[in-house]
Amino acid sequence: MKAALHAVTTQAPELPAYVESRNECALFEHAWRHQLPVLLKGPTGCGKTRFVAHMAARLGLPLHTVACHDDLTAADLTGRYLLKGGDTVWTDGPLTRAVREGGICYLDEVVEARKDVTVVLHPLTDDRRILPLERTGEELAAPDSFMLVVSYNPGYQTLLKALKPSTRQRFVAIEFGFLPPEQEIAVVAAESGLAPGYVRPLVLLAGRLRALKGHDLEEGVSTRLIVYCATLIAAGASIADAVLAGMIEPLTDDSDVKAALLDVARAVIS
């Protein structure tokens, strides 16, 4: 069975909280004003999706978000003919809607999608800024307000799933990482409601666990996971239970690795 397309459209939402680490907000705004596509790259849970939502609200733009997956095809993005009430009706996909209406089309984890997706994106990422719809015979010109944004995690790239250089060079690229400790503490405290003094050891632990990426772990602790852990503690869970459920269990299923991570946690949070 074909996986469902997870696409969400929001109309100029309220400004989500976002802490700028460098000059990414200004870069993004410059790119939008000059009709340049943007590629966001960075580890899972470091704030890429929140950043796009923040910028869409800041610029007053609708946001069309698509969570890419293995079965996502070009037709899922552009649209297809569907039977409705006995009639065959063309139904726009999220990319086509964004091109028709303007706004930001955000393809999250674009490398997960099938190869034909990049073929559809190419005409939108050069000076043509068009979306050809072969099935309807249309050729849509993107309005000035349209912006294509894609993201991916370089740490998950393989020979089978990677952005080709010819695709990457069609985008302005912004690299994301985790915030410096003091900024991350402030973000986690604000998101979770846990006092900064209690958040500090969690961020310190996350830093220690991130240093293990590429050794015992495929991925480090995301800011999102720290927020989950802090939220559990703020709700009344014990620190030990919250760390296990919020920061250790999501990282690994290997019992030996899990035991080693718990030892690190006990040493940091005593």
- Under the banding of pLDDT at 50, 70 and 90, the label for residue 11 is low
The pLDDT value given to residue 8: 64
For 113: left if phi > 0, alpha if psi spans -120 to 50, otherwise beta; the answer is beta
Domain spans in the chain, listed from the N-terminal domain onward: 6-175, 181-268
Give residues with Cβ within 8 angstroms of 169, minimum separation 6: none
- Residue 161 scores a pLDDT above 80: no
- Residue 160 scores a pLDDT above 70: no
- Residue 195 scores a pLDDT above 50: yes
- Enter the tokens of residue 83: 């039977």
Q: Determine the Cα–Cα distance for residues 101 and 107; give it in Å rounded to an integer.
A: 17
Give residues with Cβ within 8 angstroms of 137, minimum separation 6: none
> 94 to each of 12, 80, 85, 89, 162, how far by Cα in Å?
16, 11, 22, 16, 23
The pLDDT value given to residue 85: 82
The pLDDT value given to residue 159: 45
Q: Determine the Cα–Cα distance for residues 52 and 35; give it in Å rounded to an integer.
A: 16
Q: Determine the Cα–Cα distance for residues 217 and 51; give it in Å rounded to an integer.
A: 26
Q: What is the pLDDT of residues 65-110, one digit of tens each?
A: 999 999 999 999 999 988 888 888 999 999 999 999 999 999 999 9
- Residue 227 scores a pLDDT above 90: yes
> Mean of the pLDDT values across residues 188-212?
96
Q: What is the pLDDT of residues 38-52, one digit of tens each?
A: 999 998 889 999 999
- Residue matched to tokens 């996502």: 72
CATH superfamily of 6-175: P-loop containing nucleotide triphosphate hydrolases (3.40.50.300)
- Residue 6 scores a pLDDT above 70: no
The pLDDT value given to residue 1: 42
Q: What is the pLDDT of residues 129-150, one digit of tens each?
A: 999 999 899 999 999 999 999 9
- Residue 31 scores a pLDDT above 60: yes
Mean confidence (pLDDT) of the chain? 91
The pLDDT value given to residue 216: 76
> Mean of the pLDDT values across residues 162-169?
87
Tell me which amino acid residue 24 is: E
- Enter the tokens of residue 28: 């993004």
